[in-house]
Every structure is written in C-alpha cells, then in structure tokens.
A and B are shown apart, each in its own frame.
Chain A
Amino acid sequence: MNSIINHNLGGGNNPMKPLAFTWIAIFEDGTKIEQFNSEGIENRFQLVKDKFDKLVFFNLTNKEGKLFIVNLREGLIGYNDLVMSYRKSEEEKGNIRLIFFRNHKVEITENCIEKSHIINYHLGFQYNNKLGNNRQIVLIIDEEGNWYLEG
C-alpha cells in the first residue's frame, strides 16, 4: 500500500502569524513597556516579569480599538469602558498577580503546514482571598476580540 500521510509543511511551516492583540504594561511610577516599541521591535514579556511587583495595569489592545485592562491594584478587569462584574468581584483580594499567555492550536495536514492556527489570549489575575485561598479570574479572548470568563 501507499501511505500518503503527506503533511505538506512547505512554504515554511512557521509563518509569523500577526498577533491580533498586543500588550502594554504600565508600572506604578507611570512608565510603560509596550510589546512593540516605536521602532517596531518586539519586547520580550520577560521585561514585564522582571518588574511584576511594580505592575499596575496590563492592557491588551487591537487595531479596532478593543481594549482589555487588568487592574492589578484593585483586582479588576475592564473591557473598553466597562468594568466587568464577576463572581467574587467584591471579595477582598491580596497578592494580586497577572495571568497572561497566548494559547496556540496549530493543525497540520497534508496540503499545507497549517490547516489552521488559532490563538486565544488568556488574560486575568490570581489572588489570595482573606482565607488565603488562591482564586483566578481569567478571560479567554479570541482573535476577533470575543471573550468569555473562564471557569
């Protein structure tokens, strides 16, 4: 028999897929780090991690003007002008820490390297409540800016 599991990964199997959303980190002294600087050079997220304890806001924005804001002082998430209401939003929060990553799902098949490449943005924070329990509030945002609250 002739196996044709022919995952044509040609044309470079690693296209640099443009990101729908980019981040801006704002620190307590008012300084900010943008994912792409004014010259278009991408900054590593490590620069933000290095100053996590001074991070006040972490924003995701796209070209259409959709804006997600994580307020790491108060433990709030905003979408454009809306401050989201969620379960336990009024709970006393301590040790608030950013959660942010991109989840990539790459399908490879025979006719092209990438049958699909879906990126979902996971954005939110975790904190400890007054009992010391760890809680997470995380939005999952697709590339069009549609979102839902995880869990």
Chain B
Amino acid sequence: MSAVHHFCESNGAGEVETQDIANLNFGSNDSANLNTITYPITRGNASFEKYICCLFTGTWTEISNMKFWKSLGDYVTGEACKAAANVAYATPSATPNADSDIPVIVGSALSLQSAEGASTITFGSGVSGYTKYVRLQLRTTGSTPAGSVNTKTYTFQFDEV
C-alpha cells in the first residue's frame, strides 16, 4: 500500500547495513540495535556516530520533501544531539564531530536527498530507493547527570505518490 519505509543503520569500516533497525540507542559502541546497559556513554564523552538512512520499497512513483528533526524530548544538563544530513559514510567515531544541533522544528528540519543526490526519488531503473545518510551523535559533558537521559521523539516527513 503505497511506499513502505525501512530505517537502516550502517556500521563498521565496511559499511555494514542493518535494515529495519530495532532501536536507535546511542552508546559507546559502533553497532546497530545496541544495548545501553552494555555500552553506556561515560559522562563527558560523546556516543559513537550513527549513520541512519531510509529505504523505500512498495509501490510508489516519487518521494520528495524528505525532512528529519527532533520533535520531542528535553535534554538533560550538558546533553546535546548533533546531526548532519546527506553526509557520506565514514567509519563511525566517538570523537565529537563538527555537526550542528539537530533541528527541533519542522521549519528548520534537515532536508534529505536520495542516495543518488536528488531532492526527489523517482522510481525507476538505477534508483536505489535509499535516502542519503543522516549522521547523529549524542554529546554529554561533565555536568550531565548520571543515569538515563530523557527519551526523544524524532519525526521523518515526506511526500509520496
């Protein structure tokens, strides 16, 4: 029934993709579906970067106007989520990168392109149905309180026909 979206995460030096990821946990390990109990982020450090994309399958002709932003979830002290859109894959790192704060309203949302670099994904030969990557990284500082941070809601919006 129309387009079907699959959230995917890529990890490792070899860009190993996991489709239909089970969670988006940030942690101290470069892996999809990671367990935060096993891989907590030590206060003052950053998480490993996450490279997330979306794959569209199903029956569709065009996907356009793809936007991504953090729509809910307050930060605790010293916490921040950084993001960049349409980035090339690189082996995820826990070193703080130069990305900006993730947008929190649709008006300033990240605009996503197709993997082929177009603003509209048009179904057809040579079109993968993938978006480019969104790179996410969670930051903490020495003042970040111990324990769990608040849960977040992200919104992915797109037009489809």
Among A1-9, A73-81, A143-151, which stretch is in contact with chain B? A1-9
CA distance A113 to B153 in the complex (A): 10
From known contacts A14-B4, A42-B1, A101-B159, infer whether A5 and B41 are also in contact, taking CB-CB under 8 Å.
no
Q: Do A109 and B151 touch (CB < 8 A)?
A: yes
Q: State how many angstroms separate the Cβ of B103 from the closest Cβ of chain A.
A: 15
CA distance A89 to B127 in the complex (A): 40
Interface centre among A9, A46, A110 (most CB of B within 10 A): A9
**Residue A9 contacts which of B20, B65, B161 (CB distance < 8 angstroms)?**
B20
From known contacts A3-B36, A5-B25, A9-B20, infer whether A44 and B123 are also in contact, taking CB-CB under 8 Å.
yes
Within 8 A of B (CB), among A1-24: 1-10, 12-14, 16-19
From known contacts A46-B61, A108-B24, infer whether A5 and B149 are also in contact, taking CB-CB under 8 Å.
yes
Within 8 A of A (CB), among B36-65: 36-37, 40-43, 47, 57-62, 64-65
Interface string of A94-109 (1 = CB under 8 A from B): 0000001111111111
CA distance A9 to B138 in the complex (A): 19
Question: For the complex, would chain A's binding face be called helix, strand, loop or mixed by DSSP majority?
Answer: loop
**Residue A6 contacts which of B20, B36, B72 (CB distance < 8 angstroms)?**
B36
Q: Do B159 and A103 touch (CB < 8 A)?
A: yes
> Which A residues lie within 8 Å of B155 (CB)?
105-108
CA distance A74 to B154 in the complex (A): 42
List residues of chain A with CB under 8 Å of any chain B CB.
1-10, 12-14, 16-19, 42-46, 49, 100-110, 113, 115, 122
List residues of chain B with CB under 8 Å of any chain A CB.
1-7, 20-27, 36-37, 40-43, 47, 57-62, 64-65, 71-73, 81, 123, 138, 140, 144-149, 151-161
